[in-house]
Amino acid sequence: MSQLVPLPIVLPLLGAALSVVFGRWHGFQRLVGVVCLSTSLVISIVLLVAADDTGFVVAQGGGWPAPIGISLVVDRLSAIMLVVSAIMLLAVLVYAIGQGEVERVHAGFHPTYLVLAAGVAASLLTGDLFNLFVSFEMMLAASYVLITMGGRAAQVRSGMTYVVISLVASTFFIIVLALIYSATGTINLADLSERIPELSGEVQLMFAIALLVVFGIKAGLFPLFFWLPDSYPTAPAPVTAIFAGLLTKVGVYAIIRTQTLMFPIDARPATLILVVAALTMTVGVFGAIAQDDVKRILSFHIVSQIGYMIFALGLFTVAGVAAAVFYTFNNIILKTNLLLVAGLVERRGGSSRLSEVGGMVRTAPLLGLLFALPALSLAGLPPFGGFVAKFAVFDAGAWSEQWVLVGVAAFVSLLTMYSMTKIWAGAFWGEREEEPSGRPEPGGRLGGPVLMVGSTAAVVLVGLAVMIWAAPLYAFTERAAVDLLDPSRYVEAVLGERP
C-alpha cells in the first residue's frame, strides 16, 4: 500500500511533462489531464480506505528511514483532504475544458494546472517542514502563472499583489524553518513532535505563533487576508474556483497539522487563535455584504468561512478539531461550487456585478438551482452539510464554554444568509439596472456549455452526498481528531517504536 502514496504527486508531474511535450495538441493535453487526475482520485480513495482501517500509511523516500529521508504520510486528515482535493481539481479541469477560453488559447494551462495539482497533493502528504515549503512553492509557482493567465491589465495588477504577498510569506517561512532546524536539529514533523517540547516555553510559543503567521497569510486569516479579495476575482473563472475552494484550505490544513503535531497543548497560542478566528469571521462577512459583485462577495466569504475552521481548531478538543476538519473539507466543496456558478453567471450575463445581471431564474433556471443548494448550505440551513458543519462548531464551542465566540459565529451566519440572499435577489430574481460591461454568451436553457454545467452539477451532487452521509463522515473526522490530538500515534507510525 505504501507504494501508492507518492502517486498523487508523481502522476500529475508526469502528466505535466507530457503536456509540455505535446503542447500543440490540445486534445491530447486534455486527455492527459483528465486521465492523470482521475487516476489520482481513485488512488486517493484507496488510500483513504487504508488510512481509516490502519490509521496511517507511510512511505519513506528511497528507503531511507525517518528522520533522515523524506517521509510521505497518509493519515485520516490528509486522506480526506486528498480525496476532496482530487474531486475538485478534476471537476474544475472539466469545467475549464468546457469553457475553452484560457484553456484553449494558452498551451501552458494544462501543464501548469497539473503542477498545481501535484503541489497540493505534496503539501497534504509530506512529513517534514522543508518539503512542505517545497510543496507550497510548487503550488504557488503554478498559481502565479494561472492567476495572470489572460493578460488583462487589472488581472496582472491584482496578480502581482498575490505574487508579492506570497513571496513575502515564503521568505518568512524559510526563515522560520531555519530557526526551527537550528534549535532542534531536525525538520521531520514526527521528530519535531519529540524535540519541540525540549525547548523553553517561550521558544515553543514563538515558533507556534510564527508558523501561525506563515500559514495564516496563505489561508487568509485576519489581518493577513487583504490581498485575497482583490486577487482572486480577476482571474479566469476556473482558476478563481480552484484557488478560492482549495488553496486557502491547504493553508488551514498546514495550521491544523503543525499546531496539533508539533506543539504540546500548553505551547499552543489558543487564545490568540480564538481572537483571530472571531475577527476573521466578522471582518470577512462585513466585507462581503458591502460588495456589489458576485465574485467579490464570494471572495470575502472565503475569509469569513476560514474563521469558523480556526475557531473550532482553537478549542483543541476532540469535538473542536473534528468540527474543524469537517468544516474544512465541506467548505472546499461549497466554495468551489459557488465560484463555478459565478463563472457561469458572468458568462451568461456578460458581467458578475449584481447591477448588470438579473432575471436568470427565468432565462437559466438550472443555474438558479445550482447556486441555491450550495448557498443554503454555506449559510448553515438544515439539512445541508453546511448546517452539520456549523452545528458541530457551535456544539464544540458550547462544550468549551466559549459563549462569546459562539454568539459571534451565529451572528456571522445570519449575515452570511443575508449576503447569499443578496446574490439570489440580484442575479436571479432582480432586474438588470445597467448594461453589462462584457458580452453575454447565449447558453440555452442549461445556462452554459454542457461540460461547464455538468461539472458544476457534479460538485453540487458531491455536496449533497456530504449531507446524506453526514453522520459517518463526522464519525470519520472524530477519529481523525483523536489521531491529531495524540501525536504519539503519528510519531510511532513514522519513526517506529521509540525506546
pLDDT of residue 498: 53
Inter-CA distances, 77 with 84, 198, 324, 485, Å: 11, 26, 11, 12
* Confidence class for position 443, pLDDT limits 50, 70, 90: low
pLDDT in tens, 145-156: 888 776 566 666
CA-wise closest residue to 162 among 268, 90, 233: 233
Q: What pLDDT was estimated at residue 449? A: 81
333: cell is 466543496
Range of 194-198, 285-289, 291-295, 322-326 with top mean pLDDT: 322-326
Average pLDDT over residues 121-137: 92
CA separation, residue 329 to residues 70, 225, 355 (Å): 26, 20, 33
Distance CA 379, CA 192 (A): 39
- What rounded mean pLDDT belongs to the chain? 87
What is the per-residue pLDDT across 101-111, written as a single tens digit (0 to 9) for each? 766 667 788 89
Average pLDDT (96-118) is 82
Q: Is the pLDDT of residue 125 over 60?
A: yes
pLDDT tens-digit map of 46-85? 999 999 988 889 888 877 777 888 889 999 999 999 999 9
pLDDT score of 357: 79
Q: At residue 435, does pLDDT exceed 90?
A: no
Domain boundaries, the chain: 269-434+444-486
* Range from 77-86, 99-108, 206-215, 459-468 carrying the lowest mean pLDDT: 99-108
- Residue of 151 and 126 predicted with greater confidence: 126
Q: Give me the percent of the chain exceeding a pLDDT of 90.
A: 51
Neighbouring CB atoms inside 10 A of 41's CB total 18
Answer yes or no: is pLDDT of 169 > 80. yes
444: confidence class by pLDDT, cuts 50, 70, 90? low
- For the chain, the first-to-last Cα distance in angstroms comes to 27
